Structure 1
């Protein structure tokens, strides 16, 4: 029996207007009280004994992205098991465990002793000790000394030091468990204790799958889940080979620099790109795109500065207020036009691609107008369009198209809708009504830009590899359009380093929001970024107007910045195993510095993104997944861990809603739930998804399954489903379960990420 172990902005708003208003009430203090910790401690001790005696069964064991485990028991309790190496703040709380002989032991103030009964006998924890079994209870007595009882009436003092000066030493989270190890094939679990020599070995019973999953599998009429399993490189079916295994020519950038010592790293890289017809750096470069470059640009261990102030140039046409006083006022991207190439280092701990100075904005009043350092893009986008002539439902794969013979099997196309018909806009916003501030959807219309690969053409009927995730009603202006793109672009095994400010403030200036943006991908398919870290960056990476891109095994560290990794108007982007733990000021009225705040916008989506999967991503406590308006749809937040701070989604008021239909949040573990950016509650005290009359913060009813961690209640009239609130569910990863169901097994690349 297997155990299913799981690791659990463009177009911005004016500064200070991104949902940071409330009704003036304050959120309650979540710090546990003394009594809270004692109740939890006594429950953990009793559960420890019951598991060891086989009287309580383990249903599931779920590993969170922060290294902790949640062990769900059949008595309804969930144990928190900290990572073994994690330092637990004890607050003078006794660590209770079981020794190798089956007796209770207790560590207090660094001293470990056996617990004894009133007559001085060792207190047995297990029946195997051959004595009467006791279940101890603990309390802080009247003299602020720890006491233990075995019957609830007679109490025995433990230790001699007064503890818990509550005014000076508030309570903190506590667990006597020190780690888990699992044998998935045998279906067994071993729980280590922080005190004593005993390890608890138990069978994992498993539990029934959640109703939402069962209905998806059965294809029930009331199923609310879309199939997200097609996300990622090659539809999640395989992993891209390592860059060196692709058979491409390898170009060693360091060796080229050594042979040309007069060149900077940027100059050397640009010359190598030009040789491969991937970049245009002067008017003599008549050809500057190459869709089949067949090259690995290899950056061996070392530091490579690809942007500093010497790379800026003077713009002659207009005065630029970003002028630096040194004759330079314009920054330029390294724009790479091509496919079938890889940028590769020796590992994120060895190869460092650096931005020594900020990329200057084209307009200092436009916070996001600084260019990215490396921009990999196709210069064209959408071409000829052909009318869609038949309807197609969500989850289907075929559309009827006038002029289907103009397409060919294997090519990628865009299923496209831009239509501002009032009736269509009304339908798109149901069950809500359009509000006057939502000018984008009323003027530009309902916007769907969904990229698909053609696998069959029969007459006027075109079949896609992937399911359609927005119903097609041919009465509206649906088109199938030609799409320009590059394939097989990879970036791997390196770290991007910037110099983001150490006192980040959202929308304070262009320096805060966009000065250090290392890389972006635009109009690429079946491409990837992996084993890449970001340090001190404003924004890590955007995947724009692309399809089936995978970004995984990524760390974002250093000073807090604006955004992490986003699917921007792309289809089926997979963003997984990302750890976003930047440090910086809280986004409060009176900001204080805190570690693990995370990027202001965590990983997520913007523009008409479709089918994105955010999988096992950990972000900071003062953040939330991004959903940056302008009509993203069908996003899966799967097994993620981090803050759940309302109004961190982002987006201009005129481009709201933040997210349209089919946002799905599965087994989300919240480390910090704030109902507004400044910690205030809405009037009803619940987490609302659509705030009528407030120009920001509007999300169509989501599907929420297995939300747990820091507790929160959702306005039930504003959700499609809120199942198992407070408790994780099976399957623990929706993406993994759907991929396994489609392929027959979990692919090796996804197993490796777990």
Structure 2
């Protein structure tokens, strides 16, 4: 562990130095210079101040709770028993709530929720200072598995209607409203009201403006005309709400901890109410696994759109979801009437689902350091909708996802910052509640991976063909060539070129506080460490075969090339969902169902995931054969997934690895098939080739890390190279290498860590880590 920490520290230093060097050559845009007061140009608009987004308005790190711990296993939960743990989880939550707060703790292992088909009820967290905490979202940590799709409550009919698995919510408890009696300009932090007494006993408030066509011009930033099919804004006008935390009250003025991001005109009928919220609650360090199988079809039915939702936060402030992994889900989380939330350091993977994080009806909320690594990217990216204001999507990696999302219903003044996407947008939303976004939207250093686009129109009058946004600001839009119709944007600068500062959110926050909060760099570094925990790098002598490249569905035989370039022969049934949602196989008694071709380097240790199918009370036996000889065996009874391991094999040279179902039925039970499912074959070579010793492995790589994705690879004998990402997807295959210097070019791929596998003509194979800055 100490060694790993040192590695990442060095990696962070190198990355910082490389990035700093590169940024000096990047443009500092005029709009940023105006924001910090270096210039005063009337042709350059003012940037909104987005720096108040996130937990404690971005000023403090999310804390590690020191509240009492309520271990779910003390309330009846049992890890890895494949039985429902919901009752125990609810009991632990109730105990924490009754004591005024606590950590509901999940030890290592798998816990089961929604085990009963037809359930439509969430697990509810209704108090402040309640943190659902696991033992890590990486391998060997805490897994919460959602066994069945959530059912719709009676009366729910829309494809989007379904309760999530977990809800943080407190009942709405608002004061009587008071009226605003004066305007409040953007950049100020107070309102003047006719009766401050209604706020007695309240910490938070809601400012509300009922639908009002008189406010259209202000919040549309003067943009016209309006499409006739946008019925809501045409007939009743813009509706607005904002949530704030009271700092103090003086006379008839109520001061807040954050400032207004837009002008507030009292003539538009704004009111203020005390608003009850739970606070300081969270969900962290958990791998949540659902079972959506896909392929995803938008609006096919509620299971596709919403049935595998994980978390909803309602009437919640200064709370979070962090350091967690979500597999095969509809979306991570959504909000309703919330303030100053953080969704950070999160991974989405498995099958593509509907959305990522839906920030709806929220103020000053942050969704950042999020990696969408689903197989086709989520259908919608981070969503800002439903009167959301002053919120930020920050450092999101979603190169296969359709793009950023605004679902309409009057969001305004939000930021998408250092966001990697495939298309310009991946929006949705009913035409009745368009435009998708009002004024104040800024796109800062967005990178698009998809096809080139010419004259993208942000004010197009058509149904579901583009995002309709009032006068966006676009700075540093880069990667594939993209131009925008200038008549329908407010301001554009540095098209095709990444700008400095890289992150507008970070720069505005540092500018406001006169220092960069320490939590930002710490979170970025921790996020990179989590990626390694989610997808551990293959060492130079370690291999994993996931079986994901197998095409076979149903019974049959197939020869295929696996994750590391080795050839495997399968005589089995290709399936999914017996062990997890990925590809796996099962075969019956007496069958050697998986056999490799010859692999060089020997074998020292071996493991494979197994699960007995049907006839659960009958014992199973698994054997490992190397070069036709049995080198290990295991017996197992029961229905849980288990690991068959063999250590100290110590066979050198070329090896053929085979797995046999050696189960034998009890006397008189020959009709039983005694099937076993298998997934994830792992083995280590007997010969270790340390990549740091270039003379030993006969290869060297420079520079590494590389800023531009171009490397010089020197080899001392002819070889073939392959490059894949940490998920096992090939970036380049079958690259011929000559003796001496060779150029490797991965400049067209995103920043991150990749694996280079070299196989020489003499049969020696080794792996090196490529770092692309």
- CA separation of 1:574 and 1:693: change in aligned 2, threshold 3 A: closer
- CA separation of 1:632 and 1:717: change in aligned 2, threshold 3 A: same
CA contact (8 A) 1:554 1:578 kept: yes
Match of 1:655 in 2: 433
- Count of aligned pairs: 508
- CA separation of 1:204 and 1:564: change in aligned 2, threshold 3 A: closer
Distance 2:82 2:298 in 1: 40
Distance 1:189 1:619 in 2: 21
Give TM-score scaled by structure 1 length. 0.64
Distance 1:189 1:527 in 2: 32
Match of 2:517 in 1: 747
Distance 1:725 1:536 in 2: 36
Match of 2:127 in 1: 338
Q: Does 1:627 align with 2:432?
A: no
Match of 2:752 in 1: none
Match of 2:496 in 1: 726
1:258 Cα deviation from its structure 2 partner:
5.8
Aligned partner of residue 672 in structure 1, secondary structure: coil
Match of 1:306 in 2: 113
Aligned partner of residue 384 in structure 1, secondary structure: coil
Listed as ranges, the matches of 1:38-187 within 5 Å are: none
1:423 Cα deviation from its structure 2 partner:
3.1
Match of 1:672 in 2: 450
1:351 Cα deviation from its structure 2 partner:
0.6
Match of 1:265 in 2: 85
Match of 1:501 in 2: 293
Residues 430-460 of structure 1: CA deviation (Å, up to 9, x unaligned): 3122332222234553221111112232221
1:644 Cα deviation from its structure 2 partner:
2.3
Distance 1:264 1:514 in 2: 22
Match of 2:460 in 1: 691
1:693 Cα deviation from its structure 2 partner:
4.9
CA contact (8 A) 2:70 2:95 kept: no
Residues 82-110 of structure 1: CA deviation (Å, up to 9, x unaligned): xx9xxxxxxxxxxxxxxxxxxxxxxxxxx
Q: Does 1:359 align with 2:138?
A: no
Runs ≥4 residues deviating over 6 A: 259-263
CA contact (8 A) 1:414 1:481 kept: yes
Aligned partner of residue 452 in structure 1, secondary structure: strand
Listed as ranges, the matches of 1:110-509 within 5 Å are: 205=24, 209-218=28-37, 220=40, 222-243=44-65, 246=66, 248-257=67-76, 264-276=84-96, 278=97, 293-309=100-116, 312=118, 330-349=119-138, 350-362=141-153, 365-407=157-199, 411-420=203-212, 422-429=213-220, 430-509=222-301
CA contact (8 A) 1:527 1:549 kept: yes
Residues 128-166 of structure 1: CA deviation (Å, up to 9, x unaligned): xxxxxxxxxxxxxxxxxxxxxxxxxxxxxxxxxxxxxxx
Distance 1:737 1:229 in 2: 8
Distance 1:491 1:547 in 2: 16
Aligned partner of residue 729 in structure 1, secondary structure: coil
CA contact (8 A) 1:426 1:433 kept: no
CA contact (8 A) 2:71 2:92 kept: no
Distance 1:528 1:203 in 2: 33
- CA separation of 1:695 and 1:205: change in aligned 2, threshold 3 A: closer
CA contact (8 A) 1:375 1:519 kept: yes
Aligned partner of residue 753 in structure 1, secondary structure: helix
Aligned partner of residue 325 in structure 2, secondary structure: strand
Distance 1:428 1:447 in 2: 10
Distance 1:670 1:383 in 2: 46
Stretches of structure 1 lacking an aligned partner (at least 5 in a row): 1-83, 85-178, 191-201, 279-289, 313-329, 584-596, 676-684
Match of 2:538 in 1: none
Stretches of structure 2 lacking an aligned partner (at least 5 in a row): 1-6, 525-773
* Larger relative contact order (CA 8 Å, sep ≥ 6): 1
1:404 Cα deviation from its structure 2 partner:
2.2
Distance 1:238 1:351 in 2: 27
- CA separation of 1:634 and 1:569: change in aligned 2, threshold 3 A: same
Distance 2:77 2:318 in 1: 34
Match of 1:540 in 2: 332
| Structure having the larger proportion of residues in strand | 2
- CA separation of 1:693 and 1:373: change in aligned 2, threshold 3 A: closer
Match of 1:98 in 2: none
CA contact (8 A) 1:355 1:518 kept: no
CA contact (8 A) 1:180 1:189 kept: no
Distance 1:619 1:653 in 2: 26
Aligned partner of residue 229 in structure 2, secondary structure: coil
1:426 Cα deviation from its structure 2 partner:
4.7
Aligned partner of residue 362 in structure 2, secondary structure: coil
1:254 Cα deviation from its structure 2 partner:
2.0
1:576 Cα deviation from its structure 2 partner:
0.8
Distance 2:312 2:149 in 1: 16
CA contact (8 A) 1:582 1:620 kept: no
- CA separation of 1:560 and 1:183: change in aligned 2, threshold 3 A: closer
Aligned partner of residue 686 in structure 1, secondary structure: strand
Residues 568-595 of structure 1: CA deviation (Å, up to 9, x unaligned): 1101111110001211xxxxxxxxxxxx
RMSD of Structure 2 on Structure 1 (CA): 2.8
Aligned partner of residue 383 in structure 1, secondary structure: coil
Distance 1:521 1:748 in 2: 27
Aligned partner of residue 601 in structure 1, secondary structure: coil
1:269 Cα deviation from its structure 2 partner:
1.3
Aligned partner of residue 616 in structure 1, secondary structure: strand
Distance 2:351 2:505 in 1: 31
Worse overlay, 696-705 or 571-580: 696-705
Distance 1:382 1:269 in 2: 30
Match of 1:25 in 2: none
Residues 344-370 of structure 1: CA deviation (Å, up to 9, x unaligned): 000002111111110012367410122
1:470 Cα deviation from its structure 2 partner:
2.2
1:181 Cα deviation from its structure 2 partner:
7.9
